[in-house]
Amino acid sequence: MATPIIMPKQGQSVESCILTAWFKEAGEYVEAGDLLFAYETDKTAFDEEAAVSGILLERFFEEGDEVPVLTTIAVIGEAGEDTSEFNPHAGQPEAAKEQAPAPAAEPVQVAPAPAAVQLQGQARGQIKVSPRARRVAAELGVDYKHAAPTGAEGRVVSQDILALAAARPAEAAAPRLEQPEYREVEPSRQRKLIGERMAASASEVPRVTLNTSFDATEIMALRKKLKADQSETGLAGITLNDMVIYAVSRTLPGYPELNANLIDGKMRIFKNAHVGVAVDTERGLMVPTLFDANRKSLLESSREVKSMIQQCYDGNINPDYLQGGTFTVTNLGSLGIESFSPIINLPQTGILGVNTIEWKIKQKDGEFIHYPAMGLSLTFDHRAVDGAYGARFLQELTAQLEAFSLLLCV
Partner 1 sequence: MAKQLFVDPNEVRKSSEIEFSKIPVNRYNKTIEEELENFSREDLVRIYRDMVIIRQFEEMLLSIKTTGEYNGIRYNYPGPAHLSIGQEASAVGQAYLLDENDLIFGSHRSHGEILAKGLSVIEKMPAAELEEIMQDYLGGTILAAVQNIADSDTDAKELANLFLLYGTLAEIFARETGFQKGLGGSMHAFFTPFGVYPNNAIVGGSAAIALGAALYKKINRKPGAVIANIGDGSLGCGVVWEALNMASMGQFNELWEGEYQGGVPIIFNFFNNHYGMGGQTSGETMGFEALARVGAGINAEQMHAERVDGFNPLAVIDAMRNKLEILAEKRGPVLLDVVTYRFAGHSPSDSSTYRSKEEIEAWQKHDSIAAYKQDLIKAEIASEEELQQIWNSVEEQLTKIVKIAVDDNISPRMDLNSDPDAIAKYMFSNQRIEKMDDRPCETLLPKEENPRVEQIKRKIRTKVQEGQSAMRTFQLRDGIFEAIFDKFYVDPTLITYGEDVRDWGGAFAVYRGLTEALPYHRLFNAPISEAAIVSSGVGYAMAGGRVIAELMYCDFLGRAGDEVFNQLAKWQAMSAGQLKMPLVLRVSVGSKYGAQHSQDWTTLPAHIPGLKVVFPATPYDAKGLMNSALMGTDPVIFFESQRIYDMGERFRPEVPASYYEVPIGEPDVKREGKDVTILTVGATLYRALEAADTLAEKYGVSAEVIDARTLVPFNYDLVLKSVAKTGRILLTSDACERGSYLKEMAQTISELAFDDLDAPPVVVGARNWITPAHELEEFFFPQPEWMIDAIHEKIMPLKGHSSRQDLSRKSEVQRKRAGL
Contact 363, 380 (CB under 8 A): no
Q: Which is nearer to partner 1, 135 or 271 (CB)?
A: 135
> Taking the complex as a whole, how short is the minimal distance between the CB of residue 135 and partner 1, in angstroms?
4
Q: Which is nearer to partner 1, 21 or 165 (CB)?
A: 165
Contact 400, 376 (CB under 8 A): no
Question: What sign does the CA torsion over 81, 31, 10, 199 have?
Answer: negative
Q: Which is nearer to partner 1, 3 or 289 (CB)?
A: 3
Helix 158-167 and helix 131-140: axis angle, to 10°?
20
Contact 407, 222 (CB under 8 A): no
Write down the H helix ranges in 182-321. Answer: 189-204, 217-227, 240-251, 298-314
> Taking the complex as a whole, how short is the minimal distance between the CB of residue 409 and partner 1, in angstroms?
41
> Taking the complex as a whole, how short is the minimal distance between the CB of residue 29 and partner 1, in angstroms?
19
Q: Which is nearer to partner 1, 11 or 151 (CB)?
A: 151
> Taking the complex as a whole, how short is the minimal distance between the CB of residue 91 and partner 1, in angstroms?
23
> Taking the complex as a whole, how short is the minimal distance between the CB of residue 75 and partner 1, in angstroms?
15
Distance CA 363, CA 140 (A): 55
Q: Which is nearer to partner 1, 154 or 319 (CB)?
A: 154
Burial of 211: CB neighbours in 10 Å, binned 0-12, 13-18, 19+: middle
Which residue from 221, 162, 254, 259 is spatially nearest to 402, judged by alpha carbons? 221
> Taking the complex as a whole, how short is the minimal distance between the CB of residue 154 and partner 1, in angstroms?
10
Contacts of residue 29, Cβ cutoff 8 Å, sequence gap at least 6 = 53, 54, 55, 56
> Taking the complex as a whole, how short is the minimal distance between the CB of residue 160 and partner 1, in angstroms?
9
CA atoms within 13 Å, Cβ hemisphere of 131: 0
Binding site for partner 1 (CB under 8 A): 1, 111-114, 116-117, 120, 130-135, 150-153, 155, 157-159
Q: Which is nearer to partner 1, 11 or 77 (CB)?
A: 77
Q: Which is nearer to partner 1, 154 or 353 (CB)?
A: 154
Contact 35, 49 (CB under 8 A): yes
Q: Which is nearer to partner 1, 118 or 261 (CB)?
A: 118
The C-alpha torsion from 289 through 291 and 293 to 298, rounded to 10°, is -80
> Taking the complex as a whole, how short is the minimal distance between the CB of residue 94 and partner 1, in angstroms?
32
> Taking the complex as a whole, how short is the minimal distance between the CB of residue 49 and partner 1, in angstroms?
22
Give the Cβ contact number of residue 175 at 10 Å.
9
Distance CA 315, CA 409 (A): 36
Q: Which is nearer to partner 1, 95 or 116 (CB)?
A: 116
Give the Cβ contact number of residue 199 at 10 Å.
11
Distance CA 226, CA 236 (A): 5
What DSSP letter does each residue of 298-334 carry, written as one string? Answer: HHHHHHHHHHHHHHHHHT---GGGGS--SEEEEE-GG
Q: Which is nearer to partner 1, 132 or 306 (CB)?
A: 132
> Taking the complex as a whole, how short is the minimal distance between the CB of residue 125 and partner 1, in angstroms?
18
